[in-house]
Amino acid sequence: MTLYIKNMVCDRCIMVVKQQLENSGFRVVSITLGSAVVQPEPDAVQLSAISSSLKLLGFELIDNEKARIVQRVKDLIIEKVHHSDLADTHLSFSEYLSDMIHKDYTYLSRMFSESEDTTIEKFIIQQKIEKVKELLEYGELNLNEIAWTMGYSSSAHLSAQFKTITGLTPSQFKISEQRQRKPIDKI
């Protein structure tokens, strides 16, 4: 049985969810951001127990199709922006999402907006800005390199978008005493 799980955003989340499912007596056949295939198939009482134990750790079981699709969109965006080779971010997210979910992008966009009170495009921008904050803190890349790796047409475009979202320029953020990053699952 495939369990769909909300708020899985990183490899540590995968590890924690896998451990929790195994501790509950299930064999985890496969696990990725947002889903886990377990055996044997849990009954209603076991599903309730899994739901409760995951909720304590900040995760939620997703039980309807619309929520699963929206979560899948989020998981795919997070995976691309935060966990892929950064040069890979030079892609059309609309085509990527449509190909991966096998649904028309217009349908995905409408469903996402209805569910999340934001658009897919704004969600992507917010994720990219959080990744840019991380890269700025590391200090390993200059702004031009960050802009290129994050798929921006120029560092000026990145700077303008960064200031719109954070209220600071990348330079101001870098020297700020109160650099505030958001947890990925809170975006």
pTM listed for this prediction: 0.77
Mean pLDDT, the chain, whole residue set: 90
Label residue 17 exposed, middle or buried (CB < 10 Å: 0-12, 13-18, 19+).
buried
Per-residue pLDDT band at 87 (split at 50, 70, 90): low
Fold held by 2-63: Alpha-Beta Plaits (3.30.70)
Calculate the CA 4 to chain-centre distance.
14
Contact 87, 94 (CB under 8 A): no
Quote the CA–CA distance of 159 and 52 in Å, as a whole number. Answer: 43
Q: Residue 4 and residue 65: Cα distance in Å, rounded?
A: 10
CA atoms within 13 A on the CB side of 57: 23
pLDDT band per the 50, 70, 90 thresholds, residue 185: low
Chain centroid to Cα 30, Å, comes to: 19
**Domain residue spans in the chain?**
2-63, 67-186
State the Cα–Cα distance between residues 33 and 187, nearest whole angstrom.
16
87 vs 136, more confident: 136
Pick the CATH number of 67-186 from 1.10.10.60, 1.10.357.10, 3.40.50.300, 3.30.70.120: 1.10.10.60
φ/ψ of 36, rounded to 5, equals -145, 135
Mean pLDDT of the region 169-179: 84
Question: CB–CB of 136/170 below 8 Å?
Answer: yes
% of the chain with per-residue pLDDT over 70:
92
